[in-house]
Structures are given as structure tokens and as C-alpha cells.
Amino acid sequence: MKQAGAQKETLKKVLRYVARHRLLMAGSVLCAALSVACTLYIPVLTGGVVDHILGPGRVDFAAVAAGLLRIGLIAAAGGIAQWLMKDLNNRAAYRVVRDVRADAFAKLSRLPLRYIDGHPAGEVVSRIVADVDQFSDGLLMGFTQLFTGVLTILGTLLFMLAVHPGITLVVVLVTPISLLAAAFIAHRTYSMFKLQSQVRGAQTGFMEEIITGQKVVQAFGQERKTLERFDELNTQLQKASLRAIFFSSITNPTTRFVNSLVYTGVGIVGALTVLSGGLTVGQLSAFLSYANQYTKPFNEISGVVTELQNALACAGRVFELIDEPARTPDAPDAVALNAAQGRVAIDDVCFAYQPERPLIEHFDLRVEPGQRVALVGPTGCGKTTVINLLMRFYDVDSGSIAVDGTDIRRITRQSLRANYGMVLQDTWLKSGTIRENIAFGRPEATPEEVVAAAKAAHAHSFISRLPQGYDTPVGEDGGSLSQGQKQLLCIARVMLHLPPMLILDEATSSIDTRTEMRIQRAFAKMMRGRTSFIVAHRLSTIRDADVILVMRDGHIVEQGDHATLLQKGGFYKELYESQFAGNLPFS
């Protein structure tokens, strides 16, 4: 029954969201009750009118007219109630959906990076977009129909009881069979729908990855191979969806079958009762028509139940994301770091992405305010990881990192990060204009400030040549800008932001060396008095650093300035010489 438990949990969570809009829901329920009452009352009125039409020449026209007028009024009231119910319900449902989406998205910023690094982006997108959408469809249909259905059943039962309690008993006794059948199928449907949205998520993840990497796919002529994998996922989804649809669609015939049995049962028992004189023929036909009306909502409800199953299955996946353990929250006594001086101390830090593969071990470092620290070393030695730790994208496994003497775990993340300006090798631009991208860190910046920053980053000249200048929209991830131009924009972004500490991770790797030198000068001016961490392979980038840390396999093997390290004749010298002194022969 674990599954039912999970379903109940999900339902509880959904209800918590619905409760926020309880006023709308209450209104919707009220209108539903009103509209059901009207619907049930009309046959009674119609019956009353018919009673006044007894035969040729025996029609009470005044009474008929009055009756018809009343029917018209009630019908109008019912119509209005129904419209209102739908409207209120829509409002509530769409608000719930918006809230769930907002929470799911907000969660993304609280998730540890480990989660996001480890999950395909498309899969997460599928949860926030597709699953919530399915959930909203179910929610919309579900609540109103379920409620009106139940009310209709109750109302009809009352009428039947009034006519003949004995036969009503037969009806009531058979009802559980109908419910059992529906429950049996619903149980199956839930797991099918769950499977369906799982596979859908996997497929979305795959498609997103391939379409984003389309250039590589085409450059390698791998279209066919990705198609195979796509077909595989597509067939899986087709199968899952087939089963989900099938199970949900047999609900209706099944309940209808049970209902036909009820109908037949009432007919036979009724006929026998008539034969034994316990009922008139007229009463029996009235009864049969009620029995018919009684079972109809069951059909509707069973349809709704499958819809709700789907909604719940999808909601379950969204809540999985929302309930994913968040990164450790900021300590309750965490302080906000205002304009840091820039003293950084790393003490005996160990860290590993995977426990079985230690990456950084017993790492120590002291950085004084305003120092320029360069990290060099062979690829994979852990330079980028150090940055992940400094920014607290990941928490250290042991040891500590302190800024201005305060352990960063006791500083609010936001204020810590606000003190760093970061440019990464992997440029990231968002869809929007060039201006918006430069002003990303300081949206309130004036146009002049934006231009000044762009000039400092030597991006101004290429931007001015674009058809719409600073208002040129850049597409997803930079569109047709070159990699180097994207880096210039990212640098301009930091130049505008100008925080007390800087992290440059291969920030200029795709920029030509002449432009780079000019940017270096701009940086030098900007970095005066600012602590900065630079990761680079180009010696020209790091030569002027106050401290060069030579890293190898997660350890610092050498430390010192350029001249000292060269004199020492160690690993740094070896690295250095491979670039300039003895160029290996080439072609």
C-alpha cells in the first residue's frame, strides 16, 4: 500500500495549496450545490406541469404558464450558478498551478548545485512545465465534476427513497460494486500515468540535450544515432501512454456495465414486486428513470477519477522536486558580509565530488586583502573546484574557508556571493538585449554606466557595429556572437558590478591576446585593492600576480611570485618553459 500512501501524501500537499484559495473554492462549491439543486428541481417542476395537462380540453393553461415560467427562472439560475462555479474554479485552479510552479522554480535556487549538475536540464524543465500543466488539467476537471457528481447522487438517492425505500436498498447495495470496479482500475491507472510522466521527462531531457548540442551532432554526422535513441524513448513513451490511456478508458465501460446490471436488477425486482402488487407500473417507470439518473454521475466520476490519477501522478513528480532536500540553509546566526576587505583563509580543506575519488586534500591558503592570486596547474588539478568552494557552490567536506575572519558557513550565501565578481570560461548569456545582459548584476545601472563598462571590457566597438547596438537581442546562449565576444560581454558584466573580490576562471581564454592585454590593464585598474583569484593557462595573464599557486592533483605544490618560482626551477618552471622557451616542433 506504499503507493496509496504516496498518493495520499501528494493529495494532502495539493490540498494545502488549494486551501490558500479557500474563499474561491468555497464559492465554487456553493455554486455547484446551487446548480445541482436546480438541475434536480426541474424534473419535479416538469412533472408538476404535466399534471396540469391531463388530456384533451383538460388543460389548466394558467397553471401551465406559471409552471413554465418557474422552470425558466430556475433554469436561468442554474445556468448562472454553473457559469460562476466554473469561473471561480478556474481562477482557483490556475492560481494553485501558478503557486506550485513558482515554488518549484524558487526551489531551484535553493537546491544544492550537486543536484542540478547531476540532473538533465530538460528533465527538470519537464517537471516544472509539462507535469504542472497536466496537473492543472486534472485539477480543473476534477474538482467541479467530482463535486457536482457526488451531489447529484445524493439528491437522486433522496428522491428514490421517497418513492420506494425497498428498491432503493437494492440500488444502494449494488453501488459498492461500481465503486470497487472504479477503484480497482484507478489503482492501476495511477502507476501507468506515473510511468508515462517519468518517460516523458526522460525524453524531454534527451531532446533538450541533443537540440542544444545540435552543432556537435551535425558536425559528427550523428543524426542517425540520436534518432535511434529517440525512437527508443519514443516507443517507450508510446507504450506507457498506451497503457495509461487504455486503463483509464476502460473505466467508463466498466462502470457502465455495472450500472446496466443495476438497472436490470431494479427492473426485474421491480417487475416482480409489481406482479406481487407492491408497486404500480407508473411508479416503476419513474423509478427506472431515477435509477438511470443515479448511475450517470458514477460514469462521470469514474472519468474524473482517472483524470485526477493523472493529475496526482504529475503533481507527485513536481512535489518530488519541491521536496528535494535543499542545500543546508544559512546558519540561523549567519551574518551578512558587507563590502568585504578581502582577507581569505583556507584551512586544511578536503573535498570530493564523489566520496571514492578525493580531489582536494588538506588545502591551505592565506590571501591578504588586495592580493592577486593566480591558480595554475595541469588540467583537472582542481582549480575550478577551488572556485566552487570559494563561492560556496559546494560545501567543503572538512576544514574551513573564512572571509575577513568569518567562516563562510556563518555568512549568508547571498551576501558572500555579492562580494565576488565572477567570470567563467563557460560563458552564459540569457535571452534578452546586450544591455540587459551587461546590466545583469546591476539592473538599475544607467545607460552611460553600461557603455563605460563595455568600453572597459573592450566590447563597445563590436557592440556599436551591431545593427541595433546595445539593444540588439541576443538569442539563447548568445546566438551568433562569437565565443570571444560572449566573454567580453561577461567581463563587461563584472566591470559594471564591481564587487570587492574577483574570480576569473579562464575568463579571457577565447579572446585574442592583444585585446586581452588591454582588458588586463582595465582589470588591473579595477582590481587595485581588490582580492582576486585568477585561473588561466596563459602566462601573460598570470605573470603579474602577487601569489602564484601551482596546483597538482588537488595540492599546492609550489607557491610564490613569478620570479621566485622560476628561480626555484620546479614544476612551475617546467610548465612555463613548455609555453615559451622550447616550443616543441610542430608539423
Partner 1 sequence: MIKKLVSRIRQYRRDTILAPLLVTMEVVMEVIIPLLMANLIDYGINGNDLGYIVRIGLALVACAIISLVFGVGSGRSAARASAGFAANLRKDMYYNVQTFSFSNIDKFSTASIVTRLTTDVTSVQNAFQMFIRTAVRSPIMLIFSLAMAVRIKASLSLIFLVAIPILGGGILLISMKAHPQFRKMFKNFDRLNTVVQENLRGIRVVKAFVREEHEKEKFDEAAEAIRRDSSKAEKILAFNNPLMQFAMYSCILLISWIGARLIVGSEMTTGQLMSLLSYSMQILSSLMMLGMIFVMLTMARASGERIVEILDENTDISDGPKDLMEVKDGSIRFENVEFRYKTAGETVLENINLDIRSGQTVGILGGTGSGKSSLVQLIPRLYDVSAGRVLVGGEDVRDYNVEALRNEVSMVLQKNVLFSGTIKENLRWGNENATDEEIVHACELAQADSFIREFPDGYDTLLDQGGTNVSGGQKQRLCIARALLKSPKILILDDSTSAVDTRTDALIRQAFKDEIPGVTKIIIAQRVASVQDADQIIVLDDGKISAVGDHDTLMKTSTIYREVYESQQKGDNE
| Size of the chain in residues | 587
Nearer to partner 1 by Cβ, of 1 and 219: the residue is: 219
Q: Contact at 8 Å (CB) between 441 and 496? A: yes
Nearer to partner 1 by Cβ, of 5 and 467: the residue is: 467
Dihedral pair phi/psi, residue 562, rounded to 5°: -55, -50
Which three-class secondary structure state does DSSP give residue 421?
strand
Question: Is residue 256 at the binding interface for partner 1, with CB under 8 A as the rule?
Answer: yes
Question: Is residue 184 at the binding interface for partner 1, with CB under 8 A as the rule?
Answer: no
Shortest distance (Å) from residue 194 CB to partner 1: 15
**In the window 320-359, what residues touch partner 1 (CB under 8 A)?**
353, 356-357
Residue with cell 602566462: 539
Nearer to partner 1 by Cβ, of 325 and 467: the residue is: 467
Shortest distance (Å) from residue 208 CB to partner 1: 5
Which three-class secondary structure state does DSSP give residue 482?
coil
Question: Pick from 6, 37, 66, 91: which binds partner 1 (CB under 8 A)?
Answer: 91
The size of the interface with partner 1 (CB under 8 A), counted in residues, is 188
- Of 61-69, 167-175, 317-325, 403-411, the segment contacting partner 1 by CB under 8 A is 61-69
- Of 315-323, 444-452, 460-468, 521-529, the segment contacting partner 1 by CB under 8 A is 460-468
**In the window 210-249, what residues touch partner 1 (CB under 8 A)?**
210-223, 225-227, 230-231, 234-235, 237-239, 241-243, 245-246, 249
**In the window 21-60, what residues touch partner 1 (CB under 8 A)?**
42, 46, 49-50, 53-57, 59
DSSP string, 381-414: SSHHHHHHHHTTSS--SEEEEEETTEEGGGB-HH
287, β-bridge pairs: none
Question: Is residue 277 at the binding interface for partner 1, with CB under 8 A as the rule?
Answer: no
Count of CA atoms in the C-beta half-sphere (13 A) of 495: 29
Question: Is residue 143 at the binding interface for partner 1, with CB under 8 A as the rule?
Answer: no
Shortest distance (Å) from residue 5 CB to partner 1: 28
- Of 19-27, 76-84, 168-176, 401-409, the segment contacting partner 1 by CB under 8 A is 76-84
SS3 content of the chain, % helix, strand, coil (to 5): 65, 10, 20
Dihedral pair phi/psi, residue 189, rounded to 5°: -60, -40
Shortest distance (Å) from residue 475 CB to partner 1: 6
Question: Pick from 4, 272, 331, 339: which binds partner 1 (CB under 8 A)?
Answer: 272
325 by Cβ neighbours in 10 Å (0-12 / 13-18 / 19+) ranks as exposed
Considering only CA atoms, give the Rg of the chain.
36
Question: Is residue 509 at the binding interface for partner 1, with CB under 8 A as the rule?
Answer: yes
Element (H, E) at 515: helix 513-527
**In the window 426-445, what residues touch partner 1 (CB under 8 A)?**
426, 428, 430-431, 440-441, 443
**In the window 511-540, what residues touch partner 1 (CB under 8 A)?**
511-517, 537-540
Question: Is residue 422 at the binding interface for partner 1, with CB under 8 A as the rule?
Answer: yes
Question: Is residue 552 at the binding interface for partner 1, with CB under 8 A as the rule?
Answer: no
For residue 531, what are the CA distances in angstroms to 196, 369, 415, 453, 487? Answer: 52, 5, 16, 20, 21
Cell of 226: 540520436
